Amino acid sequence: MAVERTFSILKPDATARSLTGEINAVIEGAGLKIVAQKRIRMSQAQAEGFYGVHKERPFFKDLVKFMTSGPVVVQVLEGENAVAKYREIMGATNPYNAAPGTIRRRYASNIEANTVHGSDSLENAKTEIAFFFKDDEIVG
């Protein structure tokens, strides 16, 4: 296994309920190091660009609206096998399908307001990290 970096978002439904600290404790408890983090208000252009891969999907407009509806916390997580490990502790996209104990099963309301985002591959992690962070903002 190799040390990897993955990209994470704590979504507006997480910040609205002040869950940043609680979710960060889960992330750190799983052995992932938060090597960059900032709380931002995502612009419409940022949300449309970040989720560009979904632009033909029926949920795209609502997703952009949701992601710009309140502050989000964008993060870079580092650790052994970080991409897969974070996906494991997040749980399935739809919280109703997420395993017990996962972040989405514990905190998410529905498939849209699903509390967290995590990169689905190492390649996408690199692109997503570069979308929100400059190299010197990441301190490993």
Catalytic residue ranges: 117
Binding status of residue 93 toward ligand CMP by CB under 6 A: yes
Point out which span in 36-44, 98-106, 107-115, 123-131 binds ligand CMP (CB under 6 A): 107-115
Indicate the DSSP class of residue 90.
H
Q: Strand, coil or helix: what is 31?
A: coil
Q: Decide if residue 117 touches ligand CMP (CB under 6 A).
A: yes
| Position 124 contacts ligand CMP (CB under 6 A) | no
User: Could you report how far apart the first and last alpha carbons of the chain are, in Å?
Assistant: 18
Cα–Cα distances in Å, from 127 out to 41, 91, 122, 134?
A: 20, 22, 9, 12
Q: Which of 19, 114, 125, 132 binds ligand CMP (CB under 6 A)?
A: 114
Query: If DSSP codes are grouped into helix, strand and coil, which group holds residue 137?
Result: helix
**Which of 107, 88, 98, 73 has the alpha carbon at shortest distance from 29?**
88
Contact characters 53-92, ligand CMP, x per CB under 6 A: -x----x---x-----------------------------
> Footprint of ligand CMP on this chain (CB under 6 A)?
54, 59, 63, 93, 111-112, 114, 117
